[in-house]
Structure 1
């Protein structure tokens, strides 16, 4: 069996690795190649222009505007989502206090887990369409319909350049929280109940249980969550494309790199320039993930 182990493993891996290499790795390599060309997508002729696309990119105001928007999302999307998900997960697993030395979640916690996870069942494009209607400035919008009823006047969530990005950020948080509630609940479920029971018998409050027990033991899960949410912050294409005014508006207030890549390919037929943007986005994402894992690394706590 020992001598047949590696052929057995290779036999299972060769097909998925071949598919991954063909449709993912090859696509990345082609994007790197095209980033050094001025190819417009219609001619078989490819002219190599060196680093001209990158020189143009780093002097493009729209590119830097998109980077600033990604920085805002990169800070607030993981921060808000993780805080809310931790709060809800703690309530669902430990927030009900202790009874007979055993910790428990709040009443109805199993039902709440399903409710929190429900947004994950909806396609992101569908979520964008729903919230575009929720934010609608007329009476058909859920929020502005209520505001108009009480005479407060409409709030232009997506048409006000000071509010548009934050309105989209709120949707990103709403859509993501449920998944991380389930993820953190699974992490809390792996913590031995004896630890919670011992802390409860010693008179630990819920705050003490959270900060002194739950948070340290969930550190690896938090680290992974921050990386995943950071990658989501570098995307946000679907929501911005569907929800924003004039795709990235008003006045570029919500544009992101994914949208600019799409716009340069579809509207301007600048495949080489769009590929250069994709290469920069690739390195930004990889750098963020590597730095996050490095900065947040800590010794594992043995249970």
Structure 2
């Protein structure tokens, strides 16, 4: 019996060994190296960088551009999940439950799911280039063209420091909503129709159906969506780097931590300082995920 248990353990270990080794080498090892490099003045060319302790972190906290990046990430951390989830829940409810035909959703709901999901097919860089053209400040811009034709002064969607951040946020919401519409639609499909029908017979309207049945039963899915969107908000890079001027907007109005990591590492060759930025971002992401899961924890509703 003991020998069989040993053989079974050896068999399982032989299958797990390769992926565990790969994970240690390609995931854990780079993290550990980043923590070490953050305490050096390495510029990417010297074989033995000088150890400087916490000097990079001291410099980091006195860097105005770093605090602008943190402010923008924090704003995205609140606004991106909130706006995306509200819009996605609204459309998912309409497509599955809240249509005029009762509990079957609005007419053409399958077509609308495809339309909403379409932005997910596009690469992030393609979306950024596309919206560069949409936001052009001249008559060829999709938004400014009609405004100028009406005699309205063109809006600097990407050149005005007061508008650029909101333009980036709008693009991120546009791209993310479709995926979460499909995700919430899948969650709604798993809820027994009997619950909606019973509530409707008792006189519940669309708002009651949404807040008393849909939202409580989708809470676990909403929780996961909030965490994923929060990580996206902290880890955003390509949209900002490709779409905005100076890879951070005018007067650093759209810069984020990931953009500053790339800029310091591959433009200024300050790999030690860039690693310190990466370490700070790592703790922000882990802290957000843990805090979100704890604050949104509630009793599971079974049905």
Category of TM-score, reference length = shorter chain: over 0.9
Give the structure-2-normalised TM-score. Answer: 0.95
Candidates 23, 26, 29, aligned match of 1:26: 29
The equivalent residue for 1:185 is 185
Gap regions ≥5 residues in structure 2? none
C-alpha separation between the residues in 2 aligned to 1:5 and 1:274? 46
After superposition, what is the alpha-carbon deviation per residue over 1:142-191, rounded to whole angstroms, capped at 9, x for unaligned? Answer: 10111122221211000000000000000000000000001111111111
Gap change, CA 1:204 and 1:272, over 3 Å in 2: same
Give the structure-1-normalised TM-score. Answer: 0.95
Gap regions ≥5 residues in structure 1? none
Q: Is 1:278 aligned to 2:278, yes or no?
A: yes
Gap change, CA 1:75 and 1:97, over 3 Å in 2: same
Shift of residue 18, structure 1, vs aligned partner: 2.7
Q: Is 1:51 aligned to 2:27, yes or no?
A: no
Task: Give the conservation status (yes or no) of the 8 Å contact 1:184–1:221.
Answer: yes
Query: SS at 1:234's partner residue?
Result: helix
C-alpha separation between the residues in 1 aligned to 2:266 and 2:260? 10
Which stretch of structure 1 is more off in the superposition, 198-207 or 85-94?
A: 198-207
Gap change, CA 1:244 and 1:201, over 3 Å in 2: same
The equivalent residue for 1:171 is 171
C-alpha separation between the residues in 1 aligned to 2:232 and 2:268? 26
C-alpha separation between the residues in 1 aligned to 2:149 and 2:9? 69
C-alpha separation between the residues in 2 aligned to 1:182 and 1:10? 38
After superposition, what is the alpha-carbon deviation per residue over 1:60-84, rounded to whole angstroms, capped at 9, x for unaligned? Answer: 1111111111111111101100000
Task: Give the conservation status (yes or no) of the 8 Å contact 1:38–1:48.
Answer: yes
Candidates 9, 17, 29, aligned match of 1:14: 17
Shift of residue 267, structure 1, vs aligned partner: 1.4
Correspondence list, 1:229-268, <5 A: 229-268=229-268
The equivalent residue for 1:35 is 38
C-alpha separation between the residues in 1 aligned to 2:65 and 2:131? 26
Q: Is 1:138 aligned to 2:141, yes or no?
A: no
- Alignment length (residue pairs): 300
The equivalent residue for 1:111 is 111
Question: C-alpha root-mean-square deviation of aligned residues, in Å?
Answer: 1.6
Gap change, CA 1:13 and 1:95, over 3 Å in 2: farther
Task: Give the conservation status (yes or no) of the 8 Å contact 1:98–1:200.
Answer: no
Task: Give the conservation status (yes or no) of the 8 Å contact 1:97–1:206.
Answer: no
Q: Is 1:93 aligned to 2:96, yes or no?
A: yes
Candidates 61, 64, 70, aligned match of 2:64: 61
Correspondence list, 1:208-227, <5 A: 208-227=208-227
Shift of residue 26, structure 1, vs aligned partner: 1.2
C-alpha separation between the residues in 1 aligned to 2:5 and 2:115? 47
C-alpha separation between the residues in 2 aligned to 1:34 and 1:231? 24
Query: SS at 2:245's partner residue?
Result: coil
Q: Is 1:162 aligned to 2:162, yes or no?
A: yes
After superposition, what is the alpha-carbon deviation per residue over 1:189-212, rounded to whole angstroms, capped at 9, x for unaligned? Answer: 111111111111112111110000
C-alpha separation between the residues in 2 aligned to 1:174 and 1:9? 45
Query: SS at 1:87's partner residue?
Result: helix
C-alpha separation between the residues in 2 aligned to 1:217 and 1:230? 21
